Amino acid sequence: MAGDWSPFIQRRWSFFQTPRLIFWMSIFAALLLFLFFHSPPDLSPDRRALASSWDGHSWERRVLASSRPLSKLSASDGRGHLSVLVTGAAGFVGCHVALTLKRRGDGVGDINDAALLYKLFDVVAFTHVMHLAAQAGVRYAMHNPGSYVHSNIAGLVSVFEVCKAANPQPAVVWASSSSVYGLNSKIPFSEKDQTDKPASLYAATKKAGEEIAHAYNHIYGLSITGLRFFTVYGPWGRPDMAYFFFTKDILKGKPISIFEGPHHQSVARDFTYIDDIVKGCLASIDTAQQSTGSGGKKMGPAQLRVYNLGNTSPVPVSKLVSILEKLLKTKAKKHVQPMPRNGDVVYTHANISRANQELHYKPTTDLQAGLKKFVRWYLDYYSGNRKRLYW
């Protein structure tokens, strides 16, 4: 209940009231960039042609058909009657979430374009928004920092702007990241821990997103749930993730780099299988309360939540490689070297007690079983045996 969350919200934000100048400056800069990126639209012929494809009864019929749930009645468990807008449905987590929602009977729409977002809300009264579109990855932020500010901050503001203006307002669930814990040394990571020392720009943009979410919840009454994902892996995953390119390089006989922390400390991650993450996402949607605003005006306190979604079993990267060697029946050419200063952290470990208690979230796939499923998918996909591919 919104009222039940108020004490937590007060405690949480009073705990973080010590100003962090650099952090708030980053938010201010992000808002300026948001205004820049939302300058008058490009009126080139290509842009006009794209915009024209949204118009007309044919387009609206397709949108309505896709977003229409199988049942108009409210199921007791919240399934099969929702109309959910999923941003980033072409991405790793987004595609799995969208397909799972469709399978259980919910209506699903997808877009990551501000102008089209407004158009979609003119056509469909979405009950929920699952915002998964983002620029992911810690290392790439060193090469293209602007893309992170544009997608993770300005993009999030675009979604909140559309949602707060809608009538009725949808409940919003969005992807934060375990990276917000940054240089926090307390293990395991809890939602109550401080998150004001990001180790990367990616982490800083996700932390900024959490603060922006608080503002939209407080000012406009949006019901918002942030999910801190911990090292998600599985079929159809991101090729820039270690488990993915390790698999590729081991099969090709190329050397792989295994990083270690200071004093030869093992680097470990709380690897979380995609199916478990999807269950947490859907549970967040099903338990989300309605927003309390209308047409941009807040009518009462609204739900504001943050959850860790992890596996609670950190595994050293060296163990990950050993499992892959056995599954691929190929010995890896390993090069052990110090971790570079690129924003990565040595260790992650999720405390999921809150998600377990309130979402009934309980991961069931260990790394051995999850990698077995991934390797089977990888070998089928890259062998061209598409008939065996599965979701």
Q: What are the catalytic residues? A: 202
- Residue that the structure tokens 């991405």 belong to: 91
Q: What would the two tokens of residue 312 be?
A: 């609670």
Residue type (1 letter), 33: L
Q: What is the largest CA-CA distance in the chain?
A: 65
Task: Let me know: does 129 contact 171? Beta carbons within 8 Å.
Answer: yes
Cis link prior to 188 (omega < 30° from 0)?
yes
DSSP SS3 for 212: helix
Q: How far is CA 57 from CA 70, 83, 169, 221, in A?
A: 22, 20, 25, 33
User: What is the Cα–Cα distance from 378 to 391, expressed in whole angstroms?
Assistant: 13
In the block, tokens 């997808």 appear at: 110
**How many Cα neighbours within 13 Å face the side chain of 368?**
1
**Are residues 281 and 173 in contact, defined by beta-carbon separation less than 8 angstroms?**
yes
User: In this structure, what token pair is assigned to residue 143?
Assistant: 């090469």
Copy the structure tokens of residue 40: 């008058």
Instruction: Provide the sign of the torsion angle of the four alpha carbons 140, 142, 147, 151, taken in this order.
Output: positive
The bridge status of strand 297-298 relative to strand 293-294 is antiparallel
Contact 196, 23 (CB under 8 A): yes
